[in-house]
Amino acid sequence: MVKDFSHLEAACALYAEAVRLVPTSTSYALNYAHTLEANGRYADALGVISTHLSSNGSRTAAGVAASQVAAILPKRRDFEADRWRPPTETASAAATATTAAPTAAPHGAGDPLGPAEGGRSAKAAPPEELDLLALYFTAVKILFVQGLLSAAGRLVALLEPGCRTLADLHLTLVRNENAYYCCTAMLMATLPEQLPALAPLFVLGDSHSLSPAWRTVHWGDAPRLLVPALVTGLKAWHLRDGSDFFPKANFESVVKALPDGADVIVAFGEIDCREGLLVAVERAKYADLPEAISTVVGIYVNVLRKLAARRRFRLMIHPVPPVLNETRAVVVQFNAALRRAVEAAAPTLTWLDFFGALLAPSGDALAEGMALDGTHMNPVYLRHLETALPSC
């Protein structure tokens, strides 16, 4: 409850005490790591995971011992040294002439959704292993978001053989951690271990900020590295005045870490389209769907306008991805309203006009080749985003 109402520091203190009192509790360690993550304390979160796995090294999940995962995780000093940081102007200029979009896969990374190896049938994960498996998956997520792709690739390679034998993780209590893991592992297959030293173009968003992550786009006369600024589980609705649900606090901590004057692509709204808008209409919160969309878009755009003014950000608004068949009609309406509101807020905000390229010619399906895992876009869509970037 303390975390849910955005008292993240207090929640961290309580979880720290819980972990101290019950060092064998994987549930406490997992919730502590997630709370630190929401507070933008990624090194601390990975430290909690590493300490728990080292202290409970004989436990296993998906056939992988906790000690094996702990051996891969970087120590804090190495984490701080290896995580992504903006390059110096000299380093960025040196990389500009030679950098292309990454195509090489990190060691061991590959498609996490293939069949069980050796023809083995998949089985349900034992319930007592789920929290430990979620802790493994969270470590992969943190390493990926922080740009430690070599360590993330080694961890994916360790976990994949066992994960391929498990069925229906998306139906368990660790479905969210599993979703992030599957998406991240698939994306790793076409990323290099070492990131180019390029000026960043930040992608502030929900899980849809992962597909562009660590890829290169050309903007003006120079390549730019798309750097994820992940806010887990945020609806645009959460940004309203008076909201105290913790994803809003997560948004604020992530935004605080961005440099003043940054170039930022903003990508929220998909969770509203998937979970929030129709439910609100069904509960008679709004007369109809257009009223619900208008309200949420108004909240979203108002927050972004204030943010651009306060932090001197150049904000470019990403259309909501139309991946899910079930919500595509809502997404189309939401994007139409969002585009109108963003264009009315120009030049403070800029609409990235490539939504039509994501749809099949019929307009009622995702364009061929654009799907990744059933929920997120394949990074190939970035060719359309690149062409929609405004003049520098």
Q: What is the pTM of this model?
A: 0.91
pLDDT(115) > 50? no
Which pLDDT belongs to residue 224?
97
Alpha-carbon span 211 to 135, nearest angstrom: 22
Which pLDDT belongs to residue 221?
86
Q: In this prediction, what percent of the chain has a pLDDT beyond 70?
A: 91
Nearest to 236, CA basis, from 174, 317, 300: 300
Residue 2 — pLDDT band, cuts 50, 70, 90? low
Q: Give yes or no for a contact between 122 and 166, defined as CB atoms under 8 angstroms apart.
A: yes
Task: For helices 149-163 and 130-145, give the axis angle rounded to 10 degrees.
Answer: 150
Classify strands 123-124 and 216-219 as parallel, antiparallel or unpaired.
Answer: unpaired
Which pLDDT belongs to residue 307?
97
pLDDT(101) > 90? no
17 residue type, one letter: E
pLDDT(62) > 50? yes
Q: How far is CA 120 from CA 130, 162, 171, in A?
A: 21, 11, 21
Residue 109 — pLDDT band, cuts 50, 70, 90? very low
